[in-house]
Amino acid sequence: MSTPVSPPPAPADPVPVPATMWQIARRPRWIGALILSLAIAASFAALGQWQLSRSLEGGEITEKQSETVVQLDSVASAQEPLASATTGQSVRFEAELVSGDYVVLSDRRNTDGMGYWVVGHGIEPSGASIAIALGWAPSIDAAASAIAELESSPPSSTFTGRLLPTESPQQSDFEAGTRSALAVSELVNIWQDVPAGTYGGYVVSFDAPAGLDAIDSPPPSTEVSLNLLNVFYAIEWVVFAGFAIFLWYRLVRDVWEEEREERDPDTAVD
């Protein structure tokens, strides 16, 4: 009688293989997280590029642009702040000088040293007022003599000069009874009448009347300088962009480590 043969043992259940980081990363949830991280990183990179472009100051107006004479009303308007892009622009305009409204500014440097500016009150055909730095004098007496000449023989009504922004009135020495700053806000209170608004800047005339020297008014600087603070901000945005991607990687790795520990608690992940 033959011995019965025992059936072979049933095969053991296969041990599940833990998912790799790459497999976890391809799950829909983490693909969506990756797209979101890339969008955030792109936004940060764009902000960094914007900050870097802001770090380059100057050079906005080329010498060719500033030295091309244009009509004053095409680049500036009365009762409006002077745009930075028009600073130093050469302009031409019609204006009549108001008798009795001449002002002398002290401590003004020119090619011959320190001296005085003679500033006139011009009124355009539209009625708007504009401060005009007419010329430079080496002494207060020379400035007074030039004003007397201007009162008796006003210059031509056509002026050409460089448009500049108003200066701060705090530079003026009121206690000493002198003024050194060409502040439009001060001149408005000194002039006899301002009927139809005032320009926010003033014009340095290229041609000086009799008794005065032409004021040295070079073109605006076109040199490009580097703003280190904006460069630092640009670097910060790049770091933030990299951190957005790293955060996604770190979250995926945490899930991978957690799943490995659940399947094999004795597995240590470095």
- Cα separation, 233 vs 111, whole angstroms: 41
Averaged over 152-175, what is the pLDDT? 82
Inside any domain, residue 13: no
> CA dihedral defined by 209, 210, 213, 219, rounded to 10 degrees?
20
Q: Are residues 79 and 168 in the same domain?
A: yes
Residue 237 in 3-state DSSP?
Answer: helix
In a domain, 9, yes or no: no
| 48 shares its domain with 67 | no
Answer yes or no: do 161 and 140 share one domain: yes
Residues 259 and 187 occupy one common structural domain = no
Q: Is residue 139 part of a domain?
A: yes
Q: Is 147 found in the same domain as 78?
A: yes
What is the residue range of 152's domain? 63-205
123 shares a domain with 246: no
Structural domain count of the chain? 2
Q: Per the structure block, which two tokens stand in for 77? A: 């308007």
pLDDT tens profile 193-245: 877 789 999 999 999 998 999 999 888 765 555 677 778 888 888 899 899 89
Residue range 51-65, pLDDT digits in tens: 877 766 544 445 556
Query: Given 205, 237, 255, which residue is the final one in a domain?
Result: 205
pLDDT of 12 > 60? The answer is no
